[in-house]
Amino acid sequence: MAKNLTLSCEFFPPKTEKGIANLSAVREKLVPLKPEFFSVTFGAGGSTQDNTMDAVIDIQNQHAVTNIDAAPHLSCVGSSAERIRTLLDTYRNNDIHRIVALRGDLPSGMQAPGDFRYANELVEFIRAETGDFFTIEVAAYPEVHPQAQSAEDDLINFKRKVDAGANSAITQYFYNIDAYRYFVDNCQKHGIDIPIIPGIMPINNFTQLARFSANCGAEIPRWLRKKLEAFYDDSASMNAFTVDFLTDFTQQLIDLGVPGIHFYTMNKVDPTLTICDRLGLIK
> Is 10 designated active site?
yes
Cβ–Cβ contacts within 10 Å for residue 265, how many? 24
Min dist CB 199 to ligand FAD, Å, is: 5
Between 170 and 179, whose beta carbon lies closer to ligand FAD? 170
Min dist CB 269 to ligand FAD, Å, is: 20
Between 116 and 249, whose beta carbon lies closer to ligand FAD? 116
Between 120 and 265, whose beta carbon lies closer to ligand FAD? 120
Nearest-5° Cα angle at 33, 221 to 281: 60
Min dist CB 11 to ligand FAD, Å, is: 10
137 strand-pairing partners: 100, 168
Min dist CB 241 to ligand FAD, Å, is: 25
Between 30 and 100, whose beta carbon lies closer to ligand FAD? 100
Footprint on this chain of ligand FAD (rule: CB under 6 A)? 41-44, 73, 75, 100, 102-105, 118-120, 139, 145, 147-148, 153-154, 157, 160-161, 170, 172, 199
Catalytic residues: 10
